[in-house]
Amino acid sequence: MDRIRIVGGQTLNGVIQISGAKNAALPLMIASLLTAGTLTLDNVPNLADVSMLLRILGHHGVDHSIDGRRFGAAPNASRPIHLTARDIVDTMAPYELVSKMRASFWVIAPLLARMGEAKVSLPGGCAIGTRPVDLLIMALEKLGASIEIEAGYVHAKAPKGLKGATIDFPKVTVGGTHTALMAASLAHGHTLLVNAAREPEIVDLADCLIKMGAKIKGAGQSLVEIEGVGSLNGASHRVLPDRIEAGTYAIAAAMAGGDVMLEGAEAGLLQSALDAIEQAGANVAVTNEGIRVRRNGAGIMPVDITTAPFPGFPTDLQAQFMALMTKAKGSSKITETIFENRFMHVQELARLGAHIKLDGDVALVEGVEHLQGAPVMATDLRASVSLVIAALAAEGETMVNRVYHLDRGFEHLENKLGGCGAMIERLSNPA
């Protein structure tokens, strides 16, 4: 199993190209099930999760092709993917596939909307909490589907098609909003989503669906209106830049010091995080090329944050920001409101010398002058990259184990950081 070795103490200077957003690419790929036409997605990141979803979609009958690498492009760079679901050959998604990636449960919406039936395995456990699918099921029931849950499978039926309805989400749910958008696009009549998620990835999906012929108004707002259509067509769409990747590298630059240009990043997608990074003492400048993050020899200032749905501070940057705060000149408070088990990185950061106390959903971080490299274990995607960030500023060598978590969400992380001066390498098949 691969490991990543980091020797800390190097400042970061250079350019990092921001990849397409994984959290946008996955629902966009699933939307290919809604049409017999070809959906072409550009700027799809080359990630383990993308490869796994291609396998899952292939199980349902989706053919795909990936364009060859352009001359001069980096190896394994983001490339266009063409997805064609001309014929749905199977409306069942088995446990052995769905259990490998929770987002694949969302195939239930387009399969049900287009075919009138879907049988999808419940996704099972998750390292960062329960992440239930009850709100997704509720949305489909509101649209007229009959739902039975038996032997670990959700069996949804709507033989006469889905019908428009008002779906009032009791709490903001990204998965529920994605599901409702896809299902309602082919439902009969008018659908109103109340308390819809506002994340940029929701807007990206809606924009793509509109190109495919859907009638959607208000995406990015709490109220979204969808007028169902009889069928959707193929389209071409470019995946938006990954705000979580951009925020991660911005935090890395603030941690290690130096001057980094995040090429292709869009500040409007992560303004709350950029505000917190500036409060911590980094200089953040928005340019035509992207976002430039600089920190000279000045220390890191403590900043309190609370995670919240967009446009608040994203939960997917909480672990990275906590790593930054371990070197702050003072105490900071980090409150996690989205997932109940998203502090598993705390014990691994402590192995590097961090001083962190947990009290329920609050982490109290007392900044230290020095972190010390050590062997650490990644527990989930965002936790693993927080260890990389801490290691950049730690003295000596840090070995990050279980890096397959990183490969799920960060495209060639060691190459991007190494290109800016970090002493980082991937070690394969250790003895």
Neighbours of 147 (CB within 10 A): 15
Give exposure, 344-363, as e/b (b: 16+ Cβ within 10 Å).
Answer: bbbebbebbbbebeeeebeb
Scan for tokens 């919240």, then name that residue. 308
Residues in binding site for phosphoenolpyruvate: 22-23
Q: Give me the catalytic one of 126, 149, 194, 298.
A: 126
Q: How far apart are CA 104 and CA 102, in angstroms?
A: 5
Contact 143, 167 (CB under 8 A): yes
Residues in binding site for UDP-N-acetyl-alpha-D-glucosamine: 102, 131-135, 316, 338
- Dihedral sign, CA of 179, 265, 54, 34? positive
Residues in binding site: 22-23, 102, 131-135, 316, 338
Beta strands in 86-200 (DSSP E): 92-93, 117-121, 146-150, 153-157, 166-168, 190-194
| Whether 208 is catalytic | no
Q: How far apart are CA 158 and CA 179, in angstroms?
A: 15
Q: How far apart are CA 162 and CA 166, in angstroms?
A: 13
Scan for tokens 């069942």, then name that residue. 92
Tell me which residues are annotated as active site. 126
